[in-house]
Amino acid sequence: MRIAIVDDEPLARRRLCDLLAALPHCTVCGEAGTGQEALTLSVDAQAEVVLLDIHMPGMDGLETARHLARLAAPPAVIFTTAYDEHALAAFDAGAIDYLLKPVRAERLQAALLRASQWTRAQAARLAQAAPRARSHFSALVAGSLRLVPVAAVRYLHADGGYVTVNHAGGELLIEDALRALEEEFSQTFLRIHRHTLVAVAQVEQLSRDRLGNTSITLRGVTTPLPVSRRLVGEVKRRLRQGTPSGQVPVPGL
């Protein structure tokens, strides 16, 4: 069994390595200290199991697990944590098991036995778990997992079963439903059309032409995006909320 160890604390990783060294049929295929490193490691090392710390700076373990579940061959995830209160979140996220630190050898062995029965159905559940909004979008591109920071996204557009993530570096196709994305990122994105969500922070201008059609101009996007007539009022209200006192207001409001 190929096992990746992910924890921002080197001593915690070393303890897990020592415990695994005493177990038969277990090979540590690599270590990582962050969520982003864990995703690269899991692909490159073809990890079958990931021992994943929940509480890490930046991308935490719960979000990392959601991205891992999107891989073509998703590894089984066993969360590790020093906090009892994270246990419920771990199981809600669809994890195989969770281990409280300091990890005991018998609990680790039992968790690995359960991991050997990991199924794609469990991985699918893990991919959809949403304890809170993600910090990144992810998708498989040419066999590799590609990440896009939510903060870099300009808009999301649904078409033909996919959602195009337009961001500062280009575009990424993801399989999430637009309505689910609207719910997950309700504080960040604003629906302007039944097919389109825009990042409130990226809005430069709201315009109306001679025919009464409304459109939004976003930073870095040359073509204005149409606003549905029925959503104009809500769009204006949200944009006013997103323009705190002291900032330059969005033209057109």
Question: Are the CB atoms for 172 and 137 separated by under 8 Å?
Answer: yes
The terminus-to-terminus CA distance of the chain in angstroms comes to 59
Would you say 177 and 185 are in contact if contact means Cβ atoms under 8 Å apart?
Answer: no
DSSP 55-115: --SSS-HHHHHHHHTTSSSPPEEEEEES-TTHHHHHHHTT-SEEEESSPPHHHHHHHHHHH
Q: To 5 degrees, how large is the angle CA 33–CA 36–CA 37?
A: 50
Per-residue DSSP letter, 246: T
Q: Which CATH architecture has domain 2-128?
A: 3-Layer(aba) Sandwich (3.40)
Fold of 136-241: OB fold (Dihydrolipoamide Acetyltransferase, E2P) (2.40.50)
Strand bridging mode 214-218 / 225-227: antiparallel
**Model-level pTM?**
0.80
Residues 6+ apart with CB under 8 A from 239: 190, 200, 203, 206, 250, 253
User: What is the rounded distance in angstroms from the CA atom of residue 196 to the CA atom of residue 84?
Assistant: 40
Every domain of the chain with CATH number 2.40.50.1020 lies at 136-241
Q: What is the DSSP letter of 168?
A: T
Range(s) for CATH 3.40.50.2300 in the chain?
2-128
Q: What is the pLDDT along the chain (253 residues), one digit of tens a residue?
A: 999 999 999 999 999 999 999 999 999 999 999 999 999 999 999 999 999 999 898 899 989 988 998 888 889 999 998 877 665 565 555 567 889 999 999 999 999 998 888 766 666 666 666 556 789 999 988 878 899 999 999 999 999 889 999 999 999 999 999 999 999 999 999 999 999 999 999 999 999 999 999 999 999 999 999 999 999 999 999 998 865 544 545 777 6
